[in-house]
A and B are shown apart, each in its own frame.
Chain A
Amino acid sequence: MRETRSAVHVSFDGVEYEGYAGESVLQCARRNGVTVPSLCFLEGLSVWGGCRICVVEIAEDHRLRPACATQIAADMEVKVETPRLRAYRKAILELLFAEGNHVCAVCVSNGKCELQDMAVLCGMDHVRYDYQSPLREIDASHPKYVFDPNRCILCTRCVRVCDEIEGAHVWDIGFRGEEAHLVTEMNKPWGESLSCTWCGKCVAVCPTGSLAYEGRAIGEMEHDPAMIQRLAVARNRGEWLYPGEEQ
């Protein structure tokens, strides 16, 4: 059963829309067809607010707010496209590209990658920072899936989906700073994990080619993050959506 929600007036870049109390700025924008770039947010999972790609300006507030973690308020004036925001988003994307080893030409997700899409959407065409080129070992120990930390942007979608939807909590982030990386159980190879159910939801939600099916060639890996929204709606509302019916 859907709750009745009180409607409020909000505006995105000067255009008036209707928002519901309790929903986030990002959800409100998406529902009204306003494009807000984002990476770590995924409908159906808890809010992480870590990637900061979805930052927006809110009138008379000099601080930037993550749209995914900011609630809609009455008469809110949200700015999504300003020169300042474009510059910040570009810089964040450049830092993400500089931090890992994102080589699209040899990636399983080339052409089907959310990080790539964001770079195109935000107009990031080159990286001004020094590439860190870290040495990171690929974990191909799992019989069905491959984890390539070189392509990981630590969005924690896999961590959240494994904990919140599957209930296994195989993944977590270990260590800190530039050494932070995904770990399975006690930092053991994924294939040796006793808690992994092989469900593949972590692979479905990965925004990059970091988690992929075994044996995929360049550009062959198609993820399905919307699956999680279907699962969440089924679980919370008892309504079974079909692919393409996600709101």
Chain B
Amino acid sequence: MSDTTTRAVVGVSDRQQGEHPSGDNRFDLIDKHLKRGRYAQDQLIETLHVAQDVFGYLSEDILIYVARALRLPPSMVYGVATFYQLFTFDPPGDHACTVCTGTACFVKGADDIVKGVSNAYDVPAGETSEDGSLTLKTARCLGSCGLAPVVVFDGEVLGHQNTESTLELVAAAVGGVD
């Protein structure tokens, strides 16, 4: 298997820049990472991280794409991806609301915030609402215990939150509850 063309199935040399054969240019970013790692099989976890950064989640197609590129059996890639809790297999919502449930935030009523948002938008903690507008997540201590309870909304860290203020925040971005 020294024939280099067999290794270049997902390479970029034989086609124009900015045009991935799949029609989805996001795969280019995965290809770049794979190439940098010389398609080494022990790059699997790093590649999955890149793929998740690019796509937001790992679909079956993406897992198969990575498995084929690294010449790994699909069951091994699936096993590795499902073992680590940082990998997610469902598309994230348009907006992400993360509530810290670490010790300090818990004492200050983080649980009520989670329950409040969960009930108002009918979305269980750790999942995405049915219309795909909101993902509600919980985190174990963000290291800002002085700001407890902490909520991270679309990447912005907000301290001293309560159920009302969090619901206002979510309503402003996602829209109110019907």
Contact = CB atoms under 8 A, between A and B. Distances in A.
A170 B82 contact: no
Contacts, number: 43
A169 B73 contact: yes
Nearest to A185: B74
A183 interface: yes
Interface of B: 60, 63-64, 73-76, 78-79, 82-83, 85
A87 to B, nearest CB: 31
19 contacts: A168-B73, A169-B76, A170-B73, A174-B78, A174-B82, A174-B83, A175-B82, A176-B83, A176-B85, A183-B82, A184-B75, A185-B74, A185-B75, A186-B60, A186-B63, A186-B75, A187-B78, A187-B82, A195-B74
A168 B76 CA distance: 11
Interface residues of A, number: 16
A43 interface: no
A171 B78 CA distance: 10
Contacts of B64: 186
Q: Is the interface of A mostly helix, strand, loop or mixed?
A: loop
A172 interface: yes
Contact of A183 (B60, B78, B85): B78
Nearest to B85: A176
Contacts of B85: 176
A217 interface: no
Given A186-B74, A195-B73, A172 B79 contact: yes
A15 to B, nearest CB: 43
A212 B92 CA distance: 40
Interface string A165-207: 0001111111110000001111100000001000000000000
